[in-house]
Chain A
């Protein structure tokens, strides 16, 4: 429980830090920290596979891409222009409503009994592998074709046509 509370605080603070920070690189680094904390949450919930995926895919690969793009574009500092002036008060209002609703539900229900604890090995890599190669074999294979198509598509779009070269 103590671990959870400390982690929860870290997660909330990093999430806020990501939103508030005016420097895009700081924002991205806050997001990495946030992803890492969420990964530990998954571990606490007994889902080691998702935890590792969270770290390798999100905190690792995707964040590196984010940082690459930020640094390539060179938009480290955000200018303080807000085109949607009505958006901020509305967002804050909605967030307050959501928090109050959440607290009310938690207090009135007292427990989170409607969430049943899954069996011990549900989230283990072995169980997920078994599922992927038996019941979900077809979606798994189809996804590989999907990724191939996306890759071909990305390459096609980056290579200019002959017509473009001439002009």
Chain B
């Protein structure tokens, strides 16, 4: 082990140490002052983000080829750390209000982010699996952290059982790929497939099983069944983190694995991914129409958005488009993360004791009583639909362009049609906010207000100057 090894994982090592120390420091913090733990956790994330950004543009392979630091990992890790900051910001007041404030809440979020960052840097299937477990276990616990509430416990156990099950699929896939190629390192797998030494059938079966495992994590059809129940049952601040963080990590791992380990079987896999993407968009958007609970609606919406991002994978079959597909995919992840954190912050503002205030009807009259909050919600709904002037539209434009260039016209068509369907249920929220009479009760907490306010501004402003962000995403290449 040498300096390069440490340097390649420096942000992760710092964050791991920080979260382990936070567990100890938290013991000395009075129960009434757990806010200090939140601030310390946020400070750790900010420090790690600084370190990550300072590594921009560098490429280092560390730990015998187990991990890599490159443009892609820097970009994804920055996005993950941003999600962590937002997750703490929306949780700060909410978990106090719900009586589930515990110092471990913040440590678990940090540990989960460590796993996600490791996933984005992994260059070996063994590391991918360990990172997958490291990001999932804190999420299972966080989903069930409101353990006096049956719904939260149900969400935790459901997520845990299905998550463990999908973890098994990943391990089986890794074993098959190892059996076929004799290695778990991405570069060696790719080399073995390229030279024709590997048994193609075994590799395909292994890749398919890995895809199933990650399909569970990102909530792609037909592995989406857990999403609505878990999103609804988990405390809303956890759901917000799950929706953004787990998706970013899952997709970054999928992109990395399929772009660097299986480039030569992309032609076989791309049509499968295209069909999964189409099904995910259709099921997510159609099921969302019937929802009356905003958390369930957003859960189905998150399934639908997983479908849009999966469209990027259809373009993988064409090597010339691979980089474009990856940058369009991660750009969409940025757009989705920003919009979704803003939306969840508003959902948390309206949520009351015992899960009240979560029906879409409870938003009636928000346009009159809280014009600013309603305006922000309008922006988020427009962004999720993909209507200008929002980041969601720009993200969709980049994605559709790649899909059309890859000659998947039918897929782009389904994407556009399902976006039209989604307009119905997103715009219904706006209609209810402004057209219906009601007296919605909201909670004003400074951090919550900051979150939705800042996210609304980002959604609009970044959509006006998307070129600089997209240039950064395009520079985030895998080495």
Q: Which of B144-152, B341-349, B467-475 contacts A (4 or more CB under 8 A)?
A: B144-152
**A165 and chain B: residue at smallest CB distance:** B148
| Chain A: CB-nearest residue to B9 | A138
For the side of the interface on B, what is the size category? 35 or more
By the criterion CB–CB under 8 Å, are A161 and B64 in contact? Answer: no
By DSSP majority rule, is chain A's interface helix, strand, loop, or mixed? helix
Q: A139-B66, A156-B104, A157-B147 are in contact. List 20 more A-B contacts (CB 8 A).
A: A136-B126, A137-B63, A138-B9, A139-B126, A142-B130, A142-B131, A142-B134, A146-B115, A149-B137, A150-B137, A153-B141, A156-B108, A157-B145, A157-B156, A161-B145, A161-B146, A162-B101, A163-B99, A164-B147, A167-B148
Q: How far is the CA of A156 from the CA of B152 in the complex (A)?
A: 14
Distance between A146 CB and nearest chain B CB, rounded to angstroms: 5
> In the complex, A114→B64 CA distance in Å?
30
The reply to whether B102 and A142 form a contact with Cβ atoms under 8 Å apart is no
Q: In the assembled complex, which residues on chain A have CB atoms less than 8 Å from the CB atom of B131? A: 142
Complex formed: what's the CA distance from A153 to B100 in Å? 15
Partner of A139, one of B100, B127, B147: B127
Give, as a whole number of angstroms, the nearest-CB distance from B188 to chain A: 12
A152 within 8 A of B: yes
A153 to B133, CA, bound (A): 13
Interface string of B96-136 (1 = CB under 8 A from A): 00111110100110010011001000001011001101100
Q: Nearest Cβ in chain B — how far from A144, in angstroms?
A: 10
Binary interface encoding of chain B residues 317-331 relative to chain A, with 1 for a CB under 8 A from any of its CBs, else 0: 000000000000000
Contact B137 A153 (CB under 8 A): yes
Interface check B198, CB cutoff 8 A: no
Q: How far is the CA of A161 from the CA of B138 in the complex (A)?
A: 17
SS of B interface (majority):
helix
| Bitwise interface map of B from 365 to 394 toward A, beta carbon under 8 Å scored 1, else 0 | 000000000000000000000000000000
Q: Is A163 within 8 A of B64, CB to CB?
A: no
Count contacts on A: residues with CB < 8 A to the other chain. 24
Contact of B191 with A by CB under 8 A? no
* B126 x A152 contact (CB < 8 A): no
Contacts of B134 in A (CB 8 A): 142, 145-146, 149
| A135 CB–B CB distance under 8 Å | yes
User: Quick check: is A148 within 8 A (CB to CB) of the other chain?
Assistant: yes
Contact of A149 among B63, B127, B138, B148 (CB under 8 A): B138
25 A-B pairs (CB sep. < 8 Å): A134-B64, A135-B64, A137-B1, A138-B66, A138-B127, A139-B124, A139-B130, A142-B118, A142-B127, A142-B131, A145-B114, A146-B115, A146-B130, A146-B133, A152-B108, A152-B111, A152-B141, A153-B137, A153-B138, A153-B141, A156-B141, A156-B145, A157-B144, A163-B99, A163-B100
Interface 1/0s, chain A 19-42, versus B by CB < 8 A?
000000000000000000000000
